[in-house]
Structure formats: structure tokens, C-alpha cells
A and B are shown apart, each in its own frame.
Chain A
């Protein structure tokens, strides 16, 4: 694994395109499909449920976890891929400096933007990166985004450079 850059949140971290990899509950995908910045600036959006080390995929009704190598193969085979950057609309995939997004960037040789916390898709299509409002499992705020604290999309570059 390459790169060990500090987390950094650029202000205009919006991006682009669309490969949908729905699995499990589809509400996230339905909400995210209403977002206003699809395919902006040439980046390709990848929608999937994920975490810092893997994303989920559903094939013939069976859910699978896949790593960045397998996702890189899927992306390269997709006709929408134009060898430009990738934006992962997938929770926590950008949360670790040597995690999923950095490894995908290394594998593809392209910049990869990914959320450094939970990605919440609102019913109006708005996407926010935020932690839970509460870490107490018995609180109703455990299942809602924090009202003020925000994360961001971090850009990971091949070789580990990040800006």
C-alpha cells in the first residue's frame, strides 16, 4: 500500500459519472440518484455500500464484499469509464489514509475521491458526509446524521499524494 497523507478536505470536492452497484437496502441508491452533481467535471461516480476496506455488491441476489482490485476490474470494463477520476459514493471508503480509496487510486493510476465518514443520502438527493449525531445506540440520534459536524470527500492520488 502506498501513501500515508493526512486527511484534508478541499472546499469544492464535487464530482461526476455513474456506476450503480446496489445491494441490500436500496433507499440510499434511490435517494442518491436524485443528486444534482452527477457526472460533473469528468469524474465517474461509483455508488455502493461500503466501508474503509471493501464495498458490497449484489450478484444474482447474493451479497458479496469486494476489494479495490475487483472494483478496479469492474470499472475498467464499464463503458462509462473514460480513464478519468473516480468519486466513490460509498460510506467511509475514504476514511483511512491507506484504505479502499487510496488503494483504488494506486490500482487505477487515477485520483479517487471518497467520503471520510458516513455518506448520508437525503430524500431530496442531497448528500452529506457526517458522523452519527450520537454514538449511544439507545439514542434516536444514533440513526441520524450529526447536525453540525461534517466530513468531506478526500482526494487520494496514485502513489499516495493527496491534495
Chain B
């Protein structure tokens, strides 16, 4: 891509655009602009459905699940005792749950 030229002083501008945020600034005279183009926004990730299996409560699992998903030890305990469907947005979270011994059924991406 060719460079953006400053309309005020003719210098080469610095393109600071990132994703939908369009920004350019002139290092010589300070002229610049900014706008937003929502159409350049990355598509949001689809959540992954996880069915946590019941009857697998241990304090260690509850502590881990509380930190990872619920932010609440009681909710985590209930989910491990009674079973619960949750949605997570990262495959990494799914892998972390597996590696920490939590039993669940993964339903893949859900709309």
C-alpha cells in the first residue's frame, strides 16, 4: 500500500489503524484523523456448549471450575454435583477443563 500523505504539510503520515479503528497522524505537523468502521470488526466467536456431568464433586475441581468459569465456589460445587450446561467461548478453556479431570460432554459450536 502507498503511504498516506498529509494534506496540510505534504509529509508521509503514520497509519495507526487497527481493525475497525481508522487513525492516521502526521509526525511533522500533528494533523490527523480518526473514525470507526464497524464492518471491519472481527466476527464474534460462537460459544461452545459444555454439559458438565453430575456426581463428580471434589474440592479441587470446584476450586478450579470456580476460577475458570463461575467465579463462585458454590455455583461450581452445584454444577459438579448436579450437572450443568454452560457455554464457553474458547477451545483452550475446554482443553483446560479436560486436563483438570472435569467430566463433560462437548456439543461443539452453538449458535
Contacts and interface: CB of A to CB of B under 8 A. Distances in A.
Q: Do A and B originate from a single complex?
A: yes
Contact of B38 (A50, A124, A139): A50
Contacts of B5: 140
A157 interface: no
Contacts, number: 81
A31 B33 contact: yes
B38 A120 contact: no
B18 A25 contact: yes
Interface string A58-95: 00000000000000000000000000000000011000
B104 to A, nearest CB: 25
Interface string A122-139: 111000000000000011
Contact of A28 (B19, B31, B34): B34
Contacts of B31: 122-124
B23 A25 contact: yes
Contact of A50 (B17, B24, B34, B36): B36
A139 B2 contact: yes
Given A123-B30, A143-B17, A28 B36 contact: yes
B1 A139 contact: yes
Interface string B1-40: 1111101000000011111111111000011111111110
Contacts of A31: 32-34
Nearest to A123: B32
A51 interface: yes
A43 interface: no
Given A123-B25, A143-B17, A25 B34 contact: yes
Interface of B: 1-5, 7, 15-25, 30-39
